[in-house]
Chains A and B, each alone.
Chain A
C-alpha cells in the first residue's frame, strides 16, 4: 500500500495499478493539468503542462528531499513515499508560462470553434492561465487542411501534443499522421494521397484537446454546451461500446466514446460513431398502422395495441399456433416482457431469435507495449479493441431469455421454415432496427402462410407493409435497457431521446399488452424481475448494473449436466473510475451542473 503526500496531505493509494502523479492526484481530488498525456498512449511529456514539484520522503527520518527542478507529472510514478506539490508559486508560475506559450500562435477564434466548451485551452486558461500575454510579434499561422474525408485539421489551433499521431502509430498501427517541419512551423499532416483511413480514425478527433482536429460531420452544427449527454451503448455490433449520446432539440448530434476498460477502452469505431444518425432518420415510422380492407391505415397507439391483442387472442381462441420473433436488437427487458406476453397468451407459443446480421469477421486492434511506441511506455496497459462481425447488440441477452422460456434457442432460419409450412396462425415479429432480412422475399414467403401478422419495427420494411398490425417501436436512442455483448457483459443504456410521436417504446408496448398496471414501465424494475426469474441474469439483482457492466453467468444448455459446473466467472462488480479528459466535463469547482 502506497502512501503519497500531495500538497502537504498524506493519501493512501489503492493497491494494484501503476499510477502516475496525474492519476494518483485525481484519485485524491487534486487536479494536475495536462494535454499530451493519455492513459492508453505512451508518455512523451512534450506539452509540459503537468509539471509539478516532486520529492521523496525518507521513511526512517521523515525528511523530505525535493528534486530541484520541475518534473512532468505524467512520468512521475506515484510510489510509496513520493511527495508531490502542485500548488506552489513555482508550479503556478510555470503553468501560466505554458498557457501563455500555447496561446502565442493560437488564433483565439473560440466563437467559431467547435471545441469551445470542451476545450483544454479554454478550461486551463481560466484555471491556470492569465488574461493577458506579453507577445506583440506577428503570429505564425499554420494552414488548415483536410486529413481525410471525415476529418478536418485546423493546424493554427494545434498545440502539438501529438496524441493523434501516437494514436495512429500505437493503437491502430496505421501511422497515417505525422509531424512535419520544425519549431513553431511544426505541423501535423498526412502523407500525400494517404488520408487518415482506418476504422478507428474518428478517435483522433476525441483525443484532440483543442479544436484542431474536427469531425466534419459535427462541424458547426451545435455548440457543445447545449448538448445533453446520455450514457448509452452503441448497438451497431456485438462489442457494445460505451458511448455518450449527445442530444439537443430532440435530435442526436453525435456519439462520443465513454471509457470502459473491459469493453471498448477509450475508443469507438467510425461505423458506430456514425450510427447516431439512425435516431434522426426522417423515414422512421411516425405512426402505427392497422390493415383495414387490405390497406394499412394509420391509427392511434391504443387502437393498434388493441388490434394486436384482439388478433392474437382470436387466433389462440381458435386453437391456432402463435410464434414470436425476438430480434437481437431488443433489450433484455423487452425480450423478457415479450416472451412473457406470448407465453401468457399460449404456453405453446413458439419463440425464436430474429435474424442475426453478420458482416465480415471480427476486426481486432491489438496494441502492445512496443509496436509503434516512443517514449516511456511503462504506464501503458495495452488493451485490444474489437469491431465484431456480428452487427447486433444483444444476441446473447435475447438468447438467454429465449433459453429460459423455450429451453432452447430457435434460430430464424428454422422458424422461417416452419412458418412456410403453415405451422403458425399468428406471427409477432419484433425488430426495432433496419434488418435487411425482412425484405420483399421474406414478406412474400411469410405473408400467405400466416393468418395474423404483427410487425413491431422502426421502419416500414417490406414485411411491415404487408402486416396486419404495425407497431411503431423505439430506436436505440429512444429506449432504455440492457444489452449483453459478445463477452457476455451486461451493460445498461439510458434513453437519449423521448419517444417519437405516434410510437411507443417497445417495453411500454409489451407492458400494455401484459396489462402490467398503471404507470409507465421502468426498465430497471423489469431488469430486477429478470434477475429474479432467470439465473443467468442474477448478477443484476435489484436492476442494478455496475458502471462498467457485469459479466452474466453461463446458462447450462440442454444436454449439459443440470447442476452445471459451466457457470461463468464470479460476478464481481468491477470497480475503478471512468477516465475522461477534464476538459470534456464540467469543472466541479465551478459548482456548475454536471454534464455526465
Chain B
C-alpha cells in the first residue's frame, strides 16, 4: 500500500489548498483546459467510459455509461451534483468540498462539457454550511478566472454552477428525490421510467453524479483511462475515499485503492478498535448496506466482493465499527429508528414497514420481545425495497438490509437478548394479540381480565402520537 499515491486528497494538507491559486499551481484546471480546447465532448465521454469509473454515491453505476443514456437530439442538458451526503457515518464528500473545492469544480466543468450541459446544480446537504461557503467562494474565483461563465477557454462552451442547499432529508440523496427537491417540491422519489437522463430536473435530460465521482474525472482526463484502471480490483477501479468511524481509536477519511479490506482499514488506518477491544461487526458502507460480522472483515471493500457477504453493496464506503460490547439489538434499534424517521411516506411497504420495524425493535429493546418477532422482521425485510420490486427507491432496501444481515449473522445473540431481557410491563397484552389475530373483542377482553388479573394497564392502542415519533 505504501506505493499508492493519493490523488483525490493530494491538496488536502497543502496550506490554502482550497484556493484557486494553490490549486492551479499544483496543476489544477489543466485537464479541463485540455478537454475543452482539444477534445470532442464524445471523446471525453469515451475516456471516462473506458476508465470504467463507477459512481461513488452508493449504487456503483458506471459513470460513462450514464452519460451515454442522454438522448442524442436533446436541446438542453442539466447536471445535478449530488452533495446531499446524508448516509450516516459518511463524510468524504464534505471533506472533498471543504478541502479541495476546485478539484470538484473542475470535475463539474469536464462532466458538463462531456454531456453538453451548460447548467450545473450542486445540491448540498443543508447541514454543510461550511462547504457551501467555501464552494460559493471557489465558484466566484473560478468564474473570475474564466473557468466558468461564457466561452470558457475560448472553446465556445458556457457553464454556470448554481449552489442549492437542501432542506435536510435523507431521501433527497436519492437522485429523483433530489431532482424533485431541487425543483422546489417535496423530496419524493419519482417512478422510473422516465429516467432522469430522459426527463429529469424541470423535465429536461439530466445527469446526476456524486461529488467523489466528479472529483475523479479530471484525473482520468489528465492521466488516462489505463492509469485509472491500474488502481483497484477488477470491475472496481480507481482510488476511493474510505471513512472509518465508530468504535475505533482514530476516526478517519482515507484515500485508498478500491478493494482494501475492512480489517486493514480498521487496524492500519484507524488505529484499531478502541479500548483494546475486538470488533464484533462492521457496517461496510453506510448503515443501509448491512452488516459484516467479525469473521468477514477480510472481505475486500469494492463493488463486487462485498456482495458475497450478503451485504447490499459498497455504498458510500463509510465503515462503522461496532466493538464486542455493543448489542446488535441496539444497532438494529438505531438503524430502524433512522429509516422510520427518514422514510418519505410515499410507498406503502416502506412507509408502514419501516415504522413497524422500529416499533418492534423498540419493544424488543425495552423488554417486550417475542421470538416470533424475529420471523416477522425477517419476513418484512425480505419483501421491502426495489430488489423485490415493492418500492420506488432504495431507501426500503437500506432499511431491510441491516435486519437481513443481522438476523442471518447474529440471530442467536438477538434471541438470547429477548430471552434475558423480559419486562412484564412491556410485554404485549393478550388484548393486543387478540386484536391482531382477529379474535372478537369481547372475548379478548374477558380473556385478558381473567388471565392477567392485576396486570398493568395495557398500553393504549391509540395515542395521539402513536408513541413512536423518533
Contact = CB atoms under 8 A, between A and B. Distances in A.
Interface of A: 43-49, 51, 67, 69-72, 75, 94, 97-98, 101-102, 104-105, 107, 131-141, 159-160, 162, 178-179, 181-186, 370, 374-376, 378
A136 B351 contact: no
Contacts of B351: 101, 160, 183-184, 186
B391 interface: yes
19 contacts: A46-B191, A46-B346, A97-B383, A101-B356, A104-B356, A105-B466, A134-B436, A135-B436, A136-B428, A136-B433, A138-B359, A138-B461, A138-B468, A140-B468, A141-B462, A141-B464, A183-B344, A183-B351, A374-B188
Given A45-B392, A48-B390, A51-B389, A375 B191 contact: yes
Nearest to A374: B190
Contacts of B432: 136
A371 B461 CA distance: 43
Contacts of A376: 191, 193-194
B341 interface: yes
B363 interface: yes
B347 A48 contact: yes
B203 A370 contact: yes
Across the A-B interface, give the 7 residue pairs with the lowest CB-CB distance, nearest first: A186-B345, A69-B389, A140-B466, A137-B359, A70-B389, A101-B352, A132-B438
A181 B190 CA distance: 18
Contacts of B151: none
A138 B469 contact: no
Contacts of B388: 69-70
B210 interface: no
A183 B203 contact: no
B341 to A, nearest CB: 6
Contact of A141 (B171, B346, B359, B466): B466
B463 A141 contact: yes
Contacts of B180: 374
Contacts of B435: 136
A182 B345 contact: yes
Nearest to B354: A183
B340 interface: yes
Interface in B431-455: 432-433, 435-438
Contacts of B188: 46, 179, 374
Given A101-B352, A186-B345, A133 B436 contact: yes
B186 A70 contact: no
B436 A183 contact: no
B202 to A, nearest CB: 10
Contact of B463 (A70, A138, A162, A374): A138
Interface string B366-406: 00000000001000000100111111100000000000000
A34 to B, nearest CB: 12
Given A137-B360, A162-B346, A186-B351, 20 more contacts: A69-B389, A101-B349, A101-B351, A102-B348, A105-B466, A137-B359, A138-B461, A138-B468, A139-B466, A141-B462, A141-B463, A159-B348, A179-B186, A183-B340, A184-B340, A184-B355, A185-B466, A374-B185, A374-B188, A376-B191
A44 B191 contact: yes
B204 to A, nearest CB: 12
Nearest to A169: B185
B342 interface: yes
A94 B379 CA distance: 12
Q: DSSP class of A's interface residues: helix, strand, loop or mixed?
A: loop
Interface of B: 169, 171, 180, 185-186, 188, 190-191, 193-194, 203, 340-349, 351-356, 359-360, 363, 376, 383, 386-392, 428, 432-433, 435-438, 459-469
B348 A48 contact: yes
Contacts of A48: 347-349, 390-391
A135 B356 contact: yes
Contacts of B190: 44, 374-375
A132 B352 CA distance: 16
Contacts of A67: 389
A71 B389 contact: yes
Given A43-B191, A183-B340, A183-B341, A104 B433 contact: no
Given A94-B383, A183-B343, A374-B190, A104 B463 contact: no
A137 to B, nearest CB: 4
Contact of B352 (A43, A44, A71, A105): A105
B33 to A, nearest CB: 39
A182 B428 CA distance: 27
Chain A CB within 10 Å — which of B194, B203, B355, B360 has the most?
B355
Contacts of A140: 355, 465-466, 468
A109 to B, nearest CB: 11
A573 B409 CA distance: 66
Contact of A101 (B185, B346, B348, B392): B348
Given A101-B349, A374-B180, A183 B383 contact: no
A71 B392 CA distance: 10
Contacts of B344: 182-183, 186
Given A48-B347, A71-B389, A375-B190, A182 B436 contact: no
A138 to B, nearest CB: 5
Nearest to B464: A141
B406 to A, nearest CB: 19
A133 B356 CA distance: 12
Chain A CB within 10 Å — which of B345, B390, B392 has the most?
B345
A32 B468 CA distance: 34
B466 A51 contact: no
Nearest to A72: B191
Nearest to B355: A184
B346 A160 contact: yes
Nearest to B466: A140
A102 B351 CA distance: 9
Contact of A138 (B387, B391, B437, B466): B466
Contacts of A375: 190-191
A326 to B, nearest CB: 52
A274 to B, nearest CB: 32
B355 to A, nearest CB: 4
Contacts of B438: 131-132
A345 to B, nearest CB: 66
A47 B191 CA distance: 12
A348 B465 CA distance: 78
A98 B380 CA distance: 11
B345 A45 contact: no
A103 to B, nearest CB: 9
Given A105-B352, A138-B359, A138-B461, A183 B392 contact: no
Nearest to B460: A138
A181 B468 CA distance: 14
B432 to A, nearest CB: 5
Contact of A46 (B348, B355, B376): B348
Contact of B387 (A69, A137, A159): A69
A75 to B, nearest CB: 6
Contact of A47 (B343, B348, B459, B464): B348
Nearest to B376: A134
Contacts of B437: 132
Contacts of A46: 188, 191, 346-348, 392
A134 B432 CA distance: 10
A182 B191 contact: no
Nearest to B469: A185
B169 A182 contact: yes
Nearest to B375: A134
B345 A160 contact: yes
Nearest to A178: B186
A178 B376 CA distance: 33
A316 B153 CA distance: 98
A188 to B, nearest CB: 11
A216 to B, nearest CB: 24
A155 to B, nearest CB: 12
